[in-house]
Amino acid sequence: MKLQSALSYISQDIQQIEKQIKEVTRTESSMIQVASHHLLEAGGKRIRPVFVLLSSKFGDDSQENIIDVAVALELIHMASLVHDDVIDHSTIRRGKPTVNAKWNNKTAMYTGDYVFARTLELLKPFEGNRLHNLLANAIHELCIGEIEQIRDKYSLDQNCFTYFKRIKRKTALLIATSTQLGAVAANASENVQQHLFRYGYYIGMSYQIIDDILDFTATEKQLGKPVGSDLMNGNLTLPTLLAFKDLSIYESVKAYFNNPANDAYSADINETIIKIRESEAIEQAYQMSRKYLDKALHEISFLPDQRAKKSLKQIANYLGKRQT
């Protein structure tokens, strides 16, 4: 199943979102505009705005402001990527130079701040506090997740519980908010909103676990960045934590984390990345991802039968099997 075929009936809305993202990132500052458009042109799956659109189908999806909500969610995600790349000193994302690599850290940080500020402007026309409060909470949790990741860099004092709590904040809650806000903006029932929120949350957890698996199993060309870059940047993800049952892997990571600038340990960590890729930890991580995926599919079983429900199921299955 190709993702595009499942979404063909909302293709015009998706095109409108792409156009509006480009429009709202226009500014009198040529540097920030060029940097913003550079980030935009790096592409992405746009799953957050797609989830907003599909979730709105369970209410009154004729309201024009739904597109604004979809754009806002993607802008928040884009801003977080720019800040992530600065923190991780990343030079490549999706096969293209990051904003900080192409320009500098200051330009990247201000570009991220600008993109985020445009989100707030998009949502000003909305009446009431519910949509704003839900989005503010998601951003609040996202920031905590980012801070926790910075705190835990090159630290072995982590476990699977720490990991799941972090990806909940960094990834799952923003996707859950995407599915929920589409329904909120379309005035869908409270029951539908809650099922969509939980669907998005479980999808987000599964999505991030697979992302972290692919960081070991995909090629550099597929990833658009070096294989094992999370581990090399000092971030422990699920495959590594599960692979720590092999003490040789644990000791190698420990030596690297204690002195990541040492060329000898850097060479060793590349061998360790291969060992993790070939370990049982990869299949164990996939099993955990599938459990979250099953929970997501269970949540949408309660939704009214319509085309959007089928699309949500197709997307869940697609994301669960993706290779890039």
Task: Note the pLDDT tens digit of each residue in 120-164.
Answer: 888 877 776 788 899 889 989 998 998 999 899 999 999 999 999
- Write out 155-187 in H/E/C secondary structure: CCCCCHHHHHHHHHHHHHHHHHHHHHHHHHHCC
Domain ranges for the chain? 1-320
Contacts of 282 (CB under 8 A, 6+ apart): 213, 216, 217, 239, 276
- To the nearest whole percent, how much of the chain has pLDDT over 70? 95
Strands 96-97 and 92-93: antiparallel
Model confidence at 56, pLDDT cuts 50, 70, 90, reads very high
Q: Which CATH superfamily, name and number, covers 1-320?
A: Farnesyl Diphosphate Synthase (1.10.600.10)
Report how far residue 269's alpha carbon sits from residue 262's, in angstroms, rounded to the nearest whole number: 11
Check pLDDT > 80 for residue 209: yes
Would the pTM count as exceeding 0.85?
A: yes
Report the chain's mean pLDDT, rounded to a whole number. Answer: 88
Asked whether the beta carbons of 132 and 123 are under 8 A apart, the reply is: yes
User: How far apart are the two ends of the chain, measured CA to CA in Å?
Assistant: 15
Look at 159 and 116; give whichever has higher pLDDT: 159
Q: What is the pLDDT of residue 213?
A: 97
Asked whether the beta carbons of 285 and 239 are under 8 A apart, the reply is: yes
Look at 28 and 47; give whichever has higher pLDDT: 47
Q: What is the pLDDT of residue 41?
A: 72
